[in-house]
Amino acid sequence: MIMKKMPARVESLHELLTFIRAEAKKRGFSESALSRIELVAEEALVNVFVHGYAKGQGQVEVRCLVADDPSLTIEIHDTGVAFDPLSLADPDVQSDLTKRKIGGMGVFFIRKMTDRVAYRREGNSNILAMTFLNR
C-alpha cells in the first residue's frame, strides 16, 4: 500500500491526481485507462472536498493498493460527514435533460467507470474503494 495524505481542499487535487496517475502508470495501465482513473478519482475527491467538509476543514487520505493480479484499488479516506455515495439511486439518464434533477451524475460515472466500487464506514472514517482492472 502506498499512501498520500493532504488537506481536503481543491488546491490539493492536482497533487493527489498526479500521485494516483503515477501509481496506475507503474501498474502498466494504458493512457486511456489512466485518463479514466483520473476522471473517477477527481470526481470522488471533489465530492469529499465539497460535501464531506462543507462546514470545515479536514484531511483526505488516498491509498493505492496493489494485488498480485493486474489491478489497482484506490481508497479515499475522509473523516467528513458520514455518507455512503453508493446509496444514491442512479439518475434516469433516459429522461429529458430539462426535467432531470441536478446532481448525482458523478456517483453514476464512478459506478460505470470502475470495475468494482465499495463504500464502508470504519470508526469516524468514510472509505470509498474503487478498483480498476488492467486489461
Find the CATH number of the domain harbouring 113: 3.30.565.10
Span 90-104, mean pLDDT?
57
Among residues of the chain, what percentage have pLDDT more than 70? 87
The cell for 87 is 446509496
Instruction: Go through the chain and tell me how many residues it has.
Output: 135
The cell for 124 is 469516524
pLDDT of residue 91 exceeding 70, the answer is: no
Q: Cβ(31)–Cβ(52) under 8 Å?
A: no
Query: pTM surpassing 0.85?
Result: yes
What pLDDT does 93 receive?
A: 53
Domain count, the chain: 1
For 121, the domain range is 2-133
